[in-house]
Amino acid sequence: MYSFSYHRPASVAEAADLIANAADGKLVAGGQTLLPTMKHRLASPSDVIDLGAIAELGGIVVNGNIVTIGAMTSHAEVAASGEVQEAIPALAALAGNIGDPAVRNRGTIGGSIANNDPAADYPAALIALGATVRTNRREIAGEDFFAGMFETALEEDEIIVAVDFPRPEAAAYMKFENPASRYAIVGVFIARTADGARAAFTGATDCAHRAHRLEEALANDFSPAALADFQAPVDRMNADIHASAEYRAHLVRVMAQRAVAACA
Amino acid sequence: MKIDLTVNGRAASGEVEARTLLVDFLREQLRLTGTHVGCDTSQCGACVVMVDGKSVKSCTMLAIMAAGCDVTTIEGLANGAELHPMQQAFMDNHGLQCGFCTPGMVMSGLDIVNRHGRDLDAATVRRELNGNICRCTGYQNIVKSIREGARAMGD
């Protein structure tokens, strides 16, 4: 790892000042992606601004039908939260199956979505549940937040504060995981809401996206059988040593059917 | 940069670079070499230690991030010559062959007990060990050791 200057601000405002004034600064949340990337020398920031001491970025609050999760909330905290388990059990289950227990103790929701790994789990949940990302400047719809591989709508010096999740009628996330990394080879998140079915997939293409065609297929018949003939576009699927494009297209349908079944 | 923290119940301090990993601080400055570096890529779990009571991979945390924290390593478990029940269970059940992964297995075993209690079924232990890799034993005796160690912790 190349050397850098380390900062540990106590407030979002202070962190925003630090990142704005750094030559090539990086915010670090749990560091479970950034530190390995820096060890490989694929990233070499001049300044690392650790968000770990900022109390206002933590915590889980349920207010009516909105579950608010602070950006620095760890995957382990979301998985173990009675409030999340009650309001959106699929979200608690998703968080409890990211990486491994030690990674879940450090990794955070804010770090995960800001990184936007093409195979990350949380992005699919934000899109399908119609979540809203709140930053120190504005609110961004989950659907508009994920822009491409490791790209988001965030400005260089913008800081995620929290994510608001509306409570669905039912939801489920199914992923076919890489057995070593637990990243999704394909993951599909399905939510049944008052406005109809919402769906998103991850791991299949450049990053998580809303699955409009899955939603249309479920519009009149919210059942696994409604997806029996569903074909994901093979030419848009990722292909790598873990799975071919054809296999990923197949997995989109199978994971979607399982997620719909689990919503029942 | 100077850091002050608590390691195995005692105050510790040291001068580190910002980029110093927690595992390197523990091994090279405090000479607590029981915590191992297996893969250095957050996958194998040989470097697992407790930070404020939670398991972390110390190869994927900066030492400076642990400033002010309470860190427990494998060296902090035994009571003098008397092994911790989880360590004793690994010994009794042949829960290791080469032993390189064992410090992380024991620390993760304690983390499993913290979260799931002392009556553990094998499926839970296997699922919760998915961040710890052993290249010798095939896990059978590791799972057995953790289940027995968990039970023995109540005695």
Q: Letter for the amino acid at A223?
A: S
In the block, tokens 């993760």 appear at B108
Tokens of A88: 């959106």
Residue type, A256: A
Encoded amino acid at A69, one letter: I
The shortest CB-CB distance from B131 to any of A8, A35, A101 is to A101
Q: How far apart are CA A264 and CA B15, in angstroms?
A: 57
Question: pLDDT tens, B71-105?
Answer: 999 999 999 999 999 999 999 999 999 999 999 99
Confidence check: pLDDT of B5 > 90: yes
Q: What is the pLDDT of residues A166-195, one digit of tens each?
A: 999 999 999 999 988 889 999 999 999 999
CATH code at B85-152: 1.10.150.120
Side chain identity at residue B65, one-letter code = M
Write out the two tokens for A225.
């059988």
Chain B touched by A39 (CB under 8 Å): yes
Residues of B within 8 A of A80 (CB-CB) are: 115
Residue B60 is given by DSSP the state: G
Quick one: pLDDT at residue B9?
Answer: 97
B155 pLDDT higher than 80: no
Given CB atoms, is A31 within the 8 Å cutoff of chain B?
A: yes
A74, closest residue in chain B (CA to CA): B54
The DSSP letter of residue B25 is I
The yes or no reply on domain B2-76 and CATH 2.40.160.20 is no
The C-alpha of A9 sits at a distance from chain B's nearest C-alpha, in angstroms, of 12
Q: Does A18 touch chain B (CB under 8 A)?
A: no
Query: How confident is the model over A106-123, as pLDDT tens digits?
Result: 999 999 999 999 999 999
**B108 Cβ under 8 Å from any chain A Cβ:** yes
A101/B contact by beta carbon, under 8 A: yes
Answer for the pair B152, B84: CB distance below 8 angstroms, yes or no: no
- Residue B154: the pLDDT is 83
Give percent of chain A with pLDDT exceeding 90: 98
Residues B51, B35: Cα–Cα separation, whole Å: 13
Average pLDDT over residues A49-57: 97
pLDDT of the residue at B138: 82
Condensed to tens digits (0 to 9), the pLDDT of residues B49-70 reads: 999 999 999 999 999 999 999 9
Q: Give which of B104, B116, B99, B44 is closest to B72, Cα–Cα.
A: B104
Q: Is the CB of A101 less than 8 angstroms away from the CB of B55?
A: yes
| Reported confidence tier of residue B137, pLDDT bands at 50, 70, 90 | confident
Hey, are the CB atoms on A181 and B55 less than 8 Å from each other? Answer: no
Mean pLDDT of chain A: 97
Q: A54 near A17, Cβ under 8 Å?
A: no
| Cβ within 8 Å of residue B47, ≥6 positions away | B23, B35, B36, B37, B38, B57, B58, B59, B104
What does the alpha-carbon distance between residue A171 and residue B27 come to, in Å, rounded to a whole number? 46
Our CA-based measurement puts residue A100 at a distance from the nearest CA of chain B, in whole angstroms, of: 5
Whole-complex ipTM: 0.96
Contacts of B127 in chain A (CB under 8 A): none
- Report pLDDT for B76: 98
How many residues belong to chain A? 264
- pLDDT at residue A80, as a whole number: 97
Provide the pairing of β-strand A146-148 with B48-51: unpaired
**Do A75 and A106 form a contact (C-beta atoms < 8 A)?**
no
Q: Which amino acid belongs to residue A110?
A: G
Please state the separation of Cα A106 from the chain's center in Å.
15
Size of the A and B interface in Cβ pairs below 8 Å: 71
Domain-by-domain residue ranges, chain B? Answer: 2-76, 85-152
Q: What is the CATH number of domain A58-263?
A: 3.30.465.10
- Spell out the domain ranges in chain A: 5-53, 58-263
What's the pLDDT at A179? 87
SS3 A132: strand
Neighbours of A182 (CB within 10 A): 18
B/e letters for A159-169, b = 16+ CB within 10 Å, e = fewer, are: bbbbbbbbbbe
Give A-chain residues touching B69 at CB under 8 angstroms.
Answer: none
Please indicate if any CB of chain A lies within 8 Å of the CB of B42: yes
Q: For the beta carbon of residue A56, count every other beta carbon within 10 angstroms.
A: 14
* Chain B residues close to A39, C-beta within 8 Å: 40-41
E strand or H helix at B6, and its extent?
A: strand B2-7
Q: What angle do CA A182, B131, B11 make, to 5 degrees?
A: 135
- Give per-residue pLDDT as tens, A222-246: 999 999 999 999 999 999 999 999 9
Backbone angles phi and psi of A161, in degrees to 5: -100, -45
Closest partner residue to A4 among B18, B48, B112, by Cβ?
B18
Q: State residue A244 phi and psi, 5-degree precision.
A: -80, 170
Query: Percentage of chain B with pLDDT > 90?
Result: 95
**Helix, strand or coil, per DSSP, at residue B131:** coil
A5-53 maps to CATH 3.40.50.360: no
Q: What is the dihedral of CA B92, B96, B97, B100, to 10 degrees?
A: -140
Distances in Å between the Cα of B24 and the Cα atoms of A77, A120, A142, A162, B71 are 27, 29, 39, 33, 14
Residue of B nearest to A77 (CA): B54
- Tell me the chain B residues in contact with residue A181 when contact means C-beta distances shorter than 8 Å: 43
CA-to-CA dists, residue A32 to A58, A74, A184, A227, angstroms: 17, 11, 17, 36
Closest CA to B76 of B35, B44, B113: B35
Q: Give the C-alpha separation, B71 to B86, whole Å.
A: 18
Q: What's the confidence (pLDDT) of residue A158?
A: 97
Which residue, among B58, B69, B73, has the nearest Cα to B23 in the 3D structure?
B58
